[in-house]
A = this chain, B = another copy of it.
């Protein structure tokens, strides 16, 4: 009995943790309290192990974040793609956007460096192919994708971005933001601005914006 014993390579202490378990614990924290709450020590605590045990499964904290991003990317839905290539590009871009908007910590991680999830490569390829099907050259498609992606990152940053939530640890609820920095005298422009920002957070302006950008690109060639 006990055929769970592998005949091969049975040396040393059996593992108690795994990369998958570490990622699970990390994800729970980030989902609950945001990316700034993600510390190696808290992950270890969640696993009931010492902080240093994690380093056997993950190179360092940066790698942990990238792996978390990749995991999210792998879970992105693959929508039924339209026959119209323009529509197809917009569909995939929307999947990217919605994935980032649903997990506000993504913006912060994207901001941190050249980190990128390999699992999105097929989706990027889909967008490039769609642009080519619209009549662009591969180089044009690349530049077009870059423009769309940069707008999407900015949107995630500005609208759904790493706001420090409420988070107020009891002290100092105010924030030196655009609102109180002009010491009380709210300019008309400012009031309007705030309105437009709020609009973007409530209404779905992304669809309109990205469609406008894509149409600009298609009109260009």
Contact = CB atoms under 8 A, between A and B. Distances in A.
A87 interface: no
Nearest to A126: B189
Interface stretch (A2-10, A41-49, A174-182): A174-182
A209 interface: yes
- Size category of the A interface is 35 or more
Contacts of A59: 172, 176
B162 A112 contact: yes
Contacts of A63: 176
B181 A118 contact: yes
B161 A111 contact: yes
A92 to B, nearest CB: 13
Given A176-B115, A189-B128, A216 B205 contact: no
Given A189-B125, A216-B219, A217-B212, A159 B150 contact: yes
Given A113-B163, A114-B163, A150 B146 contact: no
Interface in A125-144: 125, 128, 138-139, 142-143
Given A60-B172, A128-B189, A151-B151, 11 more contacts: A115-B176, A121-B182, A121-B190, A128-B192, A139-B196, A150-B151, A152-B154, A153-B158, A154-B155, A213-B216, A215-B216
